[in-house]
Chain A
Amino acid sequence: MKRDRPGLLARLSEILRPHEPISRSAYLAGVGASAAGLFSLWAILTYGGFVTPLFLPSPSDIVRAAAALIADGSLAEHTWASVSVIVTGWVLAVLLAVPLGILMGTLKFVESLVEPVVNFVRYLPVSAMIPLLILYIGIGTSQKVAVIFIGTFFQLILLISDVSAGVPKDLLDSAYTLGASRADVFGRVLLPATLPGVMDNLRITMGWAWTYLIVAELVAANRGLGYMILDAGRGLFTDRIFVGLFTIGLLGFVFDLTFKRLHKLLLPWSPKI
């Protein structure tokens, strides 16, 4: 029996086995097919005149709009405004949530102090707090940073608390039997043991921080990608809305990739890589 050229059906059944790995070429083919499929659908709908540019601009419309926004420097300005607000809010949330989350997952007493508050605030929509934020801190950049902070802090603290609660007790006990003091156990065991989980959750919450962009730039903004999208929406410049969305997607992708790289670089021992 000749088996060197399996038929299409045989190859398809090879690819569709549950939970089995597939070849790299098959995977890349899938990636290419989905991208090409989406793009062709988009091209057919727009160039074929099936939808009006008001709803869905053509690829060339968007490229043209992007070129114009890049040329007059406004895309860079909006991007920088958003990135600086998001990164500031997120960094502040991380600086507070990571230590507090680790303590909360480790010490039952801290859990009893923090958890009820966090679980209450966590369910409040950030947008519902905007009036209060305006009242407390005004309508400047700090109000926008505060939105990002609130959006990420209360989620992150619970995620980090889970990570530190998941550190095996035997790991701590081993350290004690090797002569470690309680401070040693915190600094030399608990902290490093949480790093891979912390790293993962930093990546995830950075993604969430971006989803609060519109909320952050809803009030009295005159710069930022969220503002740019809202503003384009008012003038029905659909092409500019898409430029804004693509920019956000691209930035998210770059941030995600950076975090994955950092994880590999900083924690080569991590079981998650």
Chain B
Amino acid sequence: MVAEDLKLAIRGLSVVFTRRRGGTVTAVEHLNLGVRDEEFVSIVGPSGCGKSTLLRIVAGLIRPTSGEVLLDNRPVEGPGADRGMVFQSYTLFPWLTVQGNVEFGLRLRGTPAEERQEVVRRYLDLVGLRGTEPAYPKELSGGMQQRVAIARAMANEPAILLMDEPFGALDAQTRSVMQELLLRVWEQTHKTVLFVTHDIDEAILLSDRIYVMTSRPGRIKTEVAVTLPRPREVSVMDTPEFIALRQRVHGLIREETLRVLDEERPTGGGSAGG
């Protein structure tokens, strides 16, 4: 891919953490990836591969040790409203109503009240929560809170939406409803999304492309194009194409998990590439 075509480009990214008791851990090593405009891209990988770290670097919340992150060809220096993020944990501000939460970013920018009202209405509509404006987060279920969090991030109209296992804390039923909702939201908005998950089905259902990461130190092991036609329905998960993709991605992650298990044996150690 040519860099200029990309909405988001990550080049030669490495993250080395210093341990408290001395020594260093390489979380991410020389990682390259790109996301095109209006593309939904997922990152999957074995647990601890640094996929959440990667997302936080794009958000500007963590500084990489080396390498660069470019959004619309401009380097990312710190956090900003052009990269909205939805977290796995519930992060709605409990002292603000749903309305107050969704318009939080707009208020910071000094958007006038009528316009804020309009935007809040539009995005609550999008996530199917019109009418909950005066409610406080504690009155909402976990799934509803995450929907408001999505509306809050999107109301800011970021260039890219970063999602860090946004449905990871939800029960299986709610999770599948949320995946369907996000699918519908994406098909209406075509927002550029970088999505981190360890749920392979979720990644395939939602994405145009999937990056599979190696186990620590995290690198891109391979890239899988999801060729399933859009608009998609949940029923696509029963098609042979979907099942073939699932097997392939599953196999790739399993390789990594096994590699780690092998290295953890007393004879192993080090960080041989894979």
> What residues of chain B lie closer than 8 Å to A173, measured between beta carbons?
56, 59, 61, 79, 85, 87, 91
Q: Are B95 and A175 in contact (CB under 8 A)?
A: no
Q: Are A168 and B95 in contact (CB under 8 A)?
A: no
> What residues of chain B lie closer than 8 Å to A177, measured between beta carbons?
59-61, 79-81, 83-85, 153, 162
Q: How large is the interface on B (under 10, 10 to 19, 20 to 34, 35 or more residues)?
A: 20 to 34
> What residues of chain B lie closer than 8 Å to A176, measured between beta carbons?
59-61, 79
Q: Are A269 and B136 in contact (CB under 8 A)?
A: yes
User: How many A-B contacts are there with CB distance less than 8 Å?
Assistant: 71
Question: Is residue B21 within 8 Å, beta carbon to beta carbon, of the partner chain?
Answer: no
Are A179 and B108 CB-contacts (below 8 A) given A192-B93, A267-B95? yes
> What residues of chain B lie closer than 8 Å to A71, measured between beta carbons?
none
- Which A residues between 190 and 222 are near B, CB-CB below 8 angstroms? 192-193, 195
> What residues of chain A lie closer than 8 Å to B186, measured between beta carbons?
none
> What residues of chain B lie closer than 8 Å to A174, measured between beta carbons?
85, 87, 91, 93, 149
Q: Within the assembled complex, what's the spacing in Å between the Cα atoms of A115 and B59? A: 33
Q: Within the assembled complex, what's the spacing in Å between the Cα atoms of A173 and B136? A: 20
Question: Is residue A56 within 8 Å, beta carbon to beta carbon, of the partner chain?
Answer: no
- Which A residues between 225 and 250 are near B, CB-CB below 8 angstroms? none
- CB of B138, distance to nearest CB on chain A (Å): 5
> What residues of chain A lie closer than 8 Å to B137, measured between beta carbons?
269
Question: Is residue A268 within 8 Å, beta carbon to beta carbon, of the partner chain?
Answer: yes
Residue of A nearest to B109 (CB): A179
Q: Are A170 and B87 in contact (CB under 8 A)?
A: yes
- Residue among B85, B89, B95 making CB contact with A269, cutoff 8 Å: B95
- CB of A102, distance to nearest CB on chain B (Å): 15
Question: Is residue A271 within 8 Å, beta carbon to beta carbon, of the partner chain?
Answer: yes
Query: Does more than half of chain A's interface fall in helix, strand or loop, or is it mixed?
Result: helix
Q: Are B87 and A178 in contact (CB under 8 A)?
A: no
Question: Is residue A180 within 8 Å, beta carbon to beta carbon, of the partner chain?
Answer: yes
- CB of A69, distance to nearest CB on chain B (Å): 45
Q: Within the assembled complex, what's the spacing in Å between the Cα atoms of A268 and B152? A: 22
> What residues of chain B lie closer than 8 Å to A179, measured between beta carbons?
80-81, 105, 108-109, 156
Question: Is residue A171 within 8 Å, beta carbon to beta carbon, of the partner chain?
Answer: yes
Question: Is residue A14 within 8 Å, beta carbon to beta carbon, of the partner chain?
Answer: no
Question: Is residue B242 within 8 Å, beta carbon to beta carbon, of the partner chain?
Answer: no
Q: Are B136 and A268 in contact (CB under 8 A)?
A: yes
Q: Within the assembled complex, what's the spacing in Å between the Cα atoms of A271 and B79? A: 29
Q: Are B84 and A178 in contact (CB under 8 A)?
A: yes
Q: Within the assembled complex, what's the spacing in Å between the Cα atoms of A268 and B138? A: 10
Q: Are A178 and B108 in contact (CB under 8 A)?
A: yes
> What residues of chain A lie closer than 8 Å to B136, measured between beta carbons?
268-269
Q: Within the assembled complex, what's the spacing in Å between the Cα atoms of A193 and B92? A: 11
Question: Is residue B268 within 8 Å, beta carbon to beta carbon, of the partner chain?
Answer: no
Q: Are A170 and B152 in contact (CB under 8 A)?
A: no
Identify 7 new A-B residue pairs, CB closer than 8 A, beyond the known A179-B109, A193-B94: A171-B93, A177-B83, A179-B105, A269-B94, A269-B136, A269-B137, A269-B138
Identify the A interface with B (CB < 8 A): 168, 170-171, 173-180, 184, 188-189, 192-193, 195, 267-271
27 A-B pairs with C-beta separation under 8 A:
A168-B89, A170-B87, A170-B91, A173-B59, A173-B79, A173-B87, A173-B91, A174-B93, A177-B59, A177-B81, A177-B83, A177-B153, A178-B81, A178-B84, A178-B104, A178-B152, A179-B105, A179-B108, A179-B109, A179-B156, A193-B94, A193-B95, A268-B136, A269-B94, A269-B138, A271-B94, A271-B138
